[in-house]
A and B are shown apart, each in its own frame.
Chain A
Amino acid sequence: MTDSKYFTTTKKGEIFELKAELNSDKKEKKKEAVKKVIASMTVGKDVSALFPDVVNCMQTDNLELKKLVYLYLMNYAKSQPDMAIMAVNTFVKDCEDPNPLIRALAVRTMGCIRVDKITEYLCEPLRKCLKDEDPYVRKTAAVCVAKLHDINAQLVEDQGFLDTLKDLISDSNPMVVANAVAALSEIAESHPSSNLLDLNPQSINKLLTALNECTEWGQIFILDCLANYMPKDDREAQSICERVTPRLSHANSAVVLSAVKVLMKFMEMLSKDLDYYGTLLKKLAPPLVTLLSAEPELQYVALRNINLIVQKRPEILKHEMKVFFVKYNDPIYVKLEKLDIMIRLASQANIAQVLAELKEYATEVDVDFVRKAVRAIGRCAIKVEQSAERCVSTLLDLIQTKVNYVVQEAIVVIKDIFRKYPNKYESVIATLCENLDSLDEPEARAAMIWIVGEYAERIDNADELLESFLEGFHDESTQVQLQLLTAIVKLFLKKPTETQELVQQVLSLATQDSDNPDLRDRGYIYWRLLSTDPVAAKEVVLAEKPLISEETDLIEPTLLDELICYIGTLASVYHKPPSAFVEGSRGVVHKSLPPRTGSSESAESPDTAPSGVQAPEQPAVIPTQGDLLGDLLNLDLGPPVSGPPMATSSVQMGAVDLLGGGLDSLMGGGGSGGGSFAAPSTAAPANLAAPLGSGLGDLFDLTGGVGTLPGSYVAPKTVWLPAMKAKGLEISGTFSRQVGSISMDLVLTNKALQVMSDFAIQFNRNSFGLAPAAPLQVHAPLAPNQSVEISLPLNTVGSVMKMDPLNNLQVAVKNNIDVFYFSTLYPLHILFVEDGKMERQMFLATWKDIPNENEAQFQIKDCSLNADAISSKLQGSNIFTIAKRNVEGQDMLYQSLKLTNGIWVLAELRIQPSNPSFTDLELSLKCRAPEVAPYVFQAYETVLKN
């Protein structure tokens, strides 16, 4: 007799039959009928029509029947809210039942019925159950609060259930505590602002006690909750760690990983000299290794987390390389993860073993895995210098196999090896060239072309090789086209006599026949460089390339720190912060590691983030991609380009700020012969106090409801030239920036009695080279009492002269009557360019690099925005937020902006809540040209306050 009989149907119509049986007098028949109903329900059949009949069976003393009816109710109450009310009375009665099992069952089921009308009736029984004498009922009721909160959050708050729930954290029964914590955590997730889980040392102590006694699932909830606590000093952190450590030996892997999270986080606070610190490190390794002997799904999640842990603290697993060796029958997703970790753990000590393994993997069957293995060999070569030779010979062996994808992958990594160890392994080029024809993937082709270009002088037939690629130029992917262009230019610079034709051919292909803007741009740059100054071209194109970083695809340190706080969660599987993928990103609170006490580092400044070991040793080596100048240096093949890349360009551009010299400066320089870009910073006298603050403030105090554009903030127009001074011509105006172009919006009003015409405008030399990009066009003569609105586009290629104040602009306007002069101050944010977002790494390095005396501090009082609003508002004005962190309840924003002349300004914005609706902002600016700081601050203030 099996349940499959419940699935059989009769001819008459199933529902009809069931209805009859449900109303039968015989208990047994009733129960069988309900079972049939449930069975249909489980496979998704709609049996909601039987609702009244099933509910009628609810009044019974048979527990099984009651449970079955409850099951049914949970599923269908939503679709039959009116009918569901019929069940309420029984529920309320059951909540008073002497049997705690029935009380708990009733309150549990009621919570699952997601019908508003029912929830009202639920409050009273729930309140009683939360204080029930039986812990089983209390623990069920705790979860019920979370359910109710999901249905009607307001009701829960109004009824004071949250406070009751908080009281349950101190309950005597560990299971109740665990469930209360679980419920509170779930509620807190949807309400990030509420301080539901406000932990203090006393409550922590309660949780730690409950931790030892509750079920495994409860332990997970409690550990996850503990991880959010911030111990006040290292002593407290240590004592928590000591009490959490036993959980590492739990059989449930989720408990283990949650414990690892707590330990990894609190370890941050312990001093490294402490004996305990070393002990803890030793204790962490075995449980992590044990996770790898579990089911493959568990292994996968564990490996993703181990990947993070290895990056943060490589010392934990450095002796455990062998456990990451791939097993033949591992699922592919486990294999790939293991490979990743193997490379991270590779060191001089174990490289021989690793290489032997990798070589085996490279002959496996699975293509993806083989590719990754080949790539891993290359990464080993780059990481462990001593092994480079062996890696290269291994790769050559693999190339000899002639397996197509192996060869291609090997060539891609050999290119990286060349970049790491230039002029060392050129002997292999001949072998590589033999395989030229078999390359069909863009990445491999691009790599091969790069190699040919880079070593053109040693390859006799380099021109032939490149020419052969050129034949199908238009069918190649962009990556290959770009690479080919650069390689041929390199070849030309090295062997100018023989290859003139070739270079002309590629330049015309790139600039005239291509519709890819990147390719055209690069083609033009080369063309102009070559035609104006071949020496400079040589210096740019054949410049010494910075070495590539030894560790590739490391997670960026601030993100890593955040992810460490999310060990064991989905974030750790995706290696993304929850804000990047959690639905609607509601309730995402940024977590950060606690600062290490007793060390000189403070958590506030961004340069302290990597207290871990893998902080890049040379600050100059940064994994960044697609940088403009990097492009010029043809380093865009994919893997890390080191920075700051600009440092390598010794282009003769006068005093271009090295950090800012982008493409535009190169272009401009090429056109006008240089010199027009003297950055004000270089010649600036330092006595630039700001007596004009008030004046500018006044200007912008005139806030009005003038329509703000979605782009950068535009101040309302103010009168620049009053009619009295200009023989009846009144000029008012403002500056704006939209999609990369600056314009001066003017209103000319004729207050005189005669017609005005022949308008023209000119600017005096100014600090940022602002100049009209077009003549002032007033089409019709301006009649008396008429006004005209003009938007005058501006550019920044005019002559530069340092003004005082820096943002002063002297303007001359001519009409048929006379020439008038006036001066105005422009807000600096019109000069903030769109590509002012710095890479995080770069930001860190630059911030460190700029001396502290260049730092300027400002206060902005009474701002009514929160961090996110501030960040988005500033973004509109091209002030980009690079990172956000929360330190001691205060949000910190790290921002960057770039001026049109290439000056970078880095900012740290601390948001201090002063009273409920206003916040005070503390702004620290760092810039190589400190003179601009006060004006940047003004820009901040105007943007934020409007």
Chain B
Amino acid sequence: MIHSLFLINCSGDIFLEKHWKSVVSQSVCDYFFEAQEKAVDVENVPPVISTPHHYLISIYRDKIFFVSVIQTEVPPLFVIEFLHRVADTFQDYFGECSETSIKDNVVIVYELLEEMLDNGFPLATESNILKELIKPPTILRSVVNSITGSSNVGDTLPTGQLSNIPWRRAGVKYTNNEAYFDVIEEIDAIIDKSGSTVFAEIQGVIDSCIKLSGMPDLSLSFMNPRLLDDVSFHPCIRFKRWESERVLSFIPPDGNFRLISYRVSSQNLVAIPVYVKHMISFKENSSSGRFDVTIGPKQNMGKTVEGVVMTVHMPKAVLNMNLTSTQGNYTFDPVTKVLTWDIGKITPQKLPNLKGIVNLQSGAPKPEENPSLNIQFKIQQLAISAKTQTWMEGR
């Protein structure tokens, strides 16, 4: 099971270590640093590294490496999932998961890690249980604590810990009972030069914010549940009911949580709501090239496309770019060769366009690779998968 945890920042300082069994020397991280050096890019550090006596399983979140040390045969996914859970918990407690916030709350972090893992076995990872055991820091509480001398460690057994619904604590009370569901769908698509879709899929999640008193039992049903073949559920959802009736029936946790995540695969045709007209060319035997990109909306059912950002990884030989945009700002980072164009909202009347000259290093050969354009955008209140939630019933 998980032996130790090291938190390492981008500059390679170990700023926190926690051992659940015997103490493992910091020097074990040298193997990690070696791999990090080899990988050049921080994202490319392999997640599983073997050393003569240990294995290092790491994740990279918010500019921090969470490196865990294990000694025996352990499912790596278990470790990776757990590390992500640790990062989520920090985020939840301190609002952000950063080196400063962790250093500022080092004692709470330590208490949390101790609660989350016992002898390498996960103990309590549900945020509502943890919050009962260790109260998250707030300015108000620290003021109150310093006056009354009370602590931020709960002294009762967390109620959810043992019940069959460990995700909910008993005795929740609200004056206004409300429940919100956010359906967020992401299309992930690869489109080739000519504009036809190579691959597209929809990743969807339903995030919920439930503020209901007592033990509410909710059911949620959809117009078109057929589309959701591939789902992963929060443990609160009753699987049997879904199998038989395609209804989500559950006792929700208190507060914010992710109810389900689902995938709609490319077999169901996905209409991509934007199109790109592009013209990028480099002249033979000359140190310049042309760049001309226009983005336009299509089939968006009258909704506006917003937050459009285009990033292009230009070939290595590109020295700089002289462009003019009809809308938004562009930046070109000559070190990483990344062109970023922040467009914002697209208005169909006047399509955003970015064009100009690309300057290559003199003497460099004509770049072979075709730059790929990454385009991100948002559309509010549009479910691409055509799945709509119809009714919800609560008891």
Contacting residues, chain B, for A329 (C-beta < 8 A): 374
Select one of A250, A293, A295, A574 contacting B50, CB under 8 A. A574
Partner of B121, one of A143, A249, A360, A570: A143
**A325 at the B interface (CB under 8 A):** yes
User: Which of chain B's residues has its CB closest to A567's CB?
Assistant: B75
A100 to B19, CA, bound (A): 25
Binds A, one of B156-164, B168-176, B296-304, B380-388: B156-164
Q: How far is the CA of A298 from the CA of B121 in the complex (A)?
A: 19
Separation of A403 and B121 alpha carbons in the complex (Å): 51
Interface residue A198 (Cβ < 8 Å from any Cβ of B): no
Q: CB-nearest residue of chain B relative to A401?
A: B368
Most central of A99, A286, A301, A566 by chain B CB within 10 Å: A301
Pick the residue among A63, A146, A327 that contacts B119 (CB under 8 A). Answer: A146
CA distance A28 to B147 in the complex (A): 10
Q: Give the contact stretch, choosing among A39-47, A701-709, A893-901.
A: A39-47
Chain A residues with CB under 8 A of B17: 42-44
Residues in A with CB closer than 8 Å to B21 are: 150
Once A101-B157, A302-B77, A325-B190 are accepted as A-B contacts, the answer to whether A179 and B263 lie under 8 Å apart by CB is no
What is the CA–CA distance of A331 and B60 in the complex, to the nearest angstrom?
12
Segment 1-15 of A: residues with Cβ below 8 Å from B: 1-4, 6-7
Asked whether B22 is an interface residue with its Cβ less than 8 Å from the other chain, the reply is yes
Q: Given A100-B157, A150-B21, A251-B261, do A323 and B118 touch, yes or no (CB 8 Å)?
A: no
CB-CB under 8 A for A251 and B232, given A43-B15, A44-B26: yes
In the assembled complex, which residues on chain B have CB atoms less than 8 Å from the CB atom of A35?
107
B310 located at the interface, meaning its Cβ lies under 8 Å from any Cβ of chain A in the complex? no
Q: Hey, which chain B residues are within 8 Å of A251, CB to CB? A: 232-235, 258, 261
Cβ-based interface call for B393 (8 A): no
CB contact under 8 A between A136 and B43, given known A254-B81, A295-B59: no
Q: What does the 1/0 interface line of B40-53 toward A look like (CB < 8 Å)?
A: 01011011101001
Looking at B108, B153, B233, B235, the one whose CB has the most chain A CB atoms below 10 A away is B235
Closest Cβ–Cβ distance, residue B27 to chain A (whole Å): 12
Q: Given the known inter-chain contacts A101-B156, A251-B234, A581-B50, please indicate yes or no for A296 contacting B261, CB distance below 8 A.
A: no
Task: Give B47's nearest chain A residue, CB to CB.
Answer: A297
Q: Does A117 contact B (CB under 8 A)?
A: no
- List B contacts of A574 (CB < 8 A): 50
B80 (CB) vs chain A CBs: closest residue: A297
CB within 8 Å: A-B pair count: 249
> Does A213 sit within 8 A of B, measured CB to CB?
yes
Given contacts A150-B21, A325-B198, A328-B313, contact A290 B263 (CB under 8 A): yes
A147 touches B59 (CB 8 A): no
Known A215-B122, A249-B231, A331-B44; judge A365-B18 contact (CB<8 A).
Answer: no
User: Which of chain B's residues have a CB closer than 8 A to the CB of A43?
Assistant: 15-17
How many residues on B have C-beta within 8 angstroms of the other chain's C-beta atoms?
Answer: 98
Contact assessment for A62 and B151 in the assembled complex, using a CB-CB cutoff below 8 Å: yes
Q: Within the complex, which residue of A7, A331, A569 is in contact with B43, where a contact is CB–CB below 8 Å?
A: A331
Q: Which of B60, B199, B203, B372 has the most CB of A within 10 A?
A: B199
Residues of A within 8 A of B162 (CB): 134-136, 173, 175
Stretch from A216-224, A377-385, A459-467, A768-776 that touches the partner: A216-224
Q: Which of B9-46 contact A (CB under 8 A)?
A: 14-23, 26, 39, 41, 43-44, 46
The answer to whether A287 has its CB under 8 Å from any CB of chain B is yes
Cβ contact within 8 Å between B199 and A322? yes
Cβ contact within 8 Å between B104 and A2: yes
Q: List 25 A-B contacts (CB under 8 A).
A: A1-B146, A2-B105, A3-B106, A27-B149, A63-B153, A63-B154, A99-B157, A143-B121, A147-B119, A173-B162, A189-B73, A220-B75, A246-B240, A251-B233, A287-B232, A289-B230, A297-B80, A301-B80, A302-B77, A328-B372, A363-B368, A365-B313, A365-B316, A568-B77, A583-B71
Known: A322-B201, A566-B73, A574-B50. 18 other contacts (CB 8 A): A3-B105, A42-B18, A42-B106, A68-B107, A71-B114, A101-B156, A182-B121, A217-B82, A217-B122, A246-B243, A250-B235, A252-B81, A286-B229, A287-B230, A298-B84, A356-B198, A568-B77, A573-B76
Closest 3 CB pairs of A and B: A286-B230, A64-B153, A64-B151
